[in-house]
Amino acid sequence: MKYRLLAGGSALVMAATLSACSSSSDSAGEAGGATTVDVWLMRDSVSAEFQKEFTEGFEAQHPKIKVKIQVQEWDGIGQKITAALASNDAPDVIETGNTHIAQYAQSGGLLDLSDKTDELNGKDWLKGLAEPGAYEGKQYGIPYYAANRVVIYRTDLFEAAGVDATAIKTREQWTDATTKLNKDKTQGIYLPGQMWYALGGFIWDEGGDFATESDGKWKGALDTPEALRGMEFYARLQALGKGPKDADEADPPQADVMAKGDVAQVISAPGGANVVIEKNPALKGKLGFFPIPGKTADKPGAVFTGGSDLVIPAAAGHPDEALTFIKELTGDAWQKKLAVAMSYVPNRTTLASAVADDPGAAAMAVGAANGHATPNSPGWAAVEAENPIKDYMTAVLTGGDAAKEAAKASEDIARAMNAGS
């Protein structure tokens, strides 16, 4: 799953003059004997400026390798990648959403990079990028960049209520502060009833998950005691605002709701703050960020890690050069530059300091240390397609029996995952 609302402002649009893709066979020969690496990057994953800087820097460092990039659209990318992997004319490097790799690896169309993890600093990779990049014990996806949700809050409303955001380190402190903020016309928090990624964080904090696997079969896990405790906390937090119980954060867009001026907090990627300010310029300078609190003060709340990995198709014409490209783009120097340029979380925990001067990205980086991914199975795509988790959440929030509704949703998750795996 790829966030469309990332940190660092509204979406940066690639220049229309970016290179079109040509096949590996067409690009093998270059003047001076250089080899061209064909790369697919996704729309808005980097700015045109960063792409230009990286390409020029890479080619200067590796004069025998040229880089040709085609920017891909997220709509329909799954089918396009599947077709490319099944062909004999695939690009050399593909950027893909971190939760999609199992689906592509299952087809046999990706190169196994397990023996390259040490030289790519795999020991420090963010868990939420590294784990979904692996399938059946083999590493296919190399973590590229990450983004996750934080709390965006109104600094003026917090100050007026006597709430110190820097002191909020635990769930109980969070709900106490939110209760204090929730008075008069102010909503302590705007939390729609179907923000299932936020629910996932609370479930992971309790030691649960959406689904578990045993002997090749998946079982939905929303009806476990751990997951039920996560839903119980979600319901308690959601009740401290006026968010709809039957919609997610996109309906209505929660940035639009916060821009109206009476919402003290939302859970969002930091880029949501820029959308709020675009809608209501009077809020400029009045928005802050802190990591989603955990159960205890010594550990931030669990978050879903969105972002991308880089893969090499098995049919790539230049796998060695592709690996060199990936090694540079995911290495220390360019990861730090990428994080600053795009307000991303770097792919490794040891590089978190690169975004220390960006409040939103810094809050993301703290949460990313406790990042998680959805169940690593090709069948998870089928769960997201019908999404029984949303229906379950609405049912509970509107008075349904949590255990019964969780059991029903767990059956739906198991059916979808086992059919698609």
Domains defined along the chain, listed by start = 31-148+306-372 (3.40.190.10), 150-303+375-420 (3.40.190.10)
| pLDDT above 70 (res 25) | no
With bands split at pLDDT 50, 70 and 90, how would you rate the model's confidence at 32?
A: low
- What is the rounded distance in angstroms from the CA atom of residue 415 to the CA atom of residue 411? 6
Per the model's pLDDT, the better-predicted residue between 69 and 25 turns out to be: 69
Residue 103 confidence (pLDDT) = 87
Average pLDDT over every residue of 364-393 = 92
Which of 64-78, 156-170, 356-370 has the highest mean predicted lDDT (pLDDT)? Answer: 156-170
| pLDDT above 60 (res 4) | no
Residue 27 confidence (pLDDT) = 43
| pLDDT above 90 (res 343) | no
Residue 421 confidence (pLDDT) = 64
pTM: 0.81
Angle at 307 between CA 354 and CA 224, to 5 degrees: 115
For a pLDDT cut of 70, what percent of the chain falls above it?
92
pLDDT per residue over 155-211, tens digit each? 999 999 999 999 999 999 999 999 999 988 999 999 999 999 999 999 999 999 999
Residue 33 confidence (pLDDT) = 84
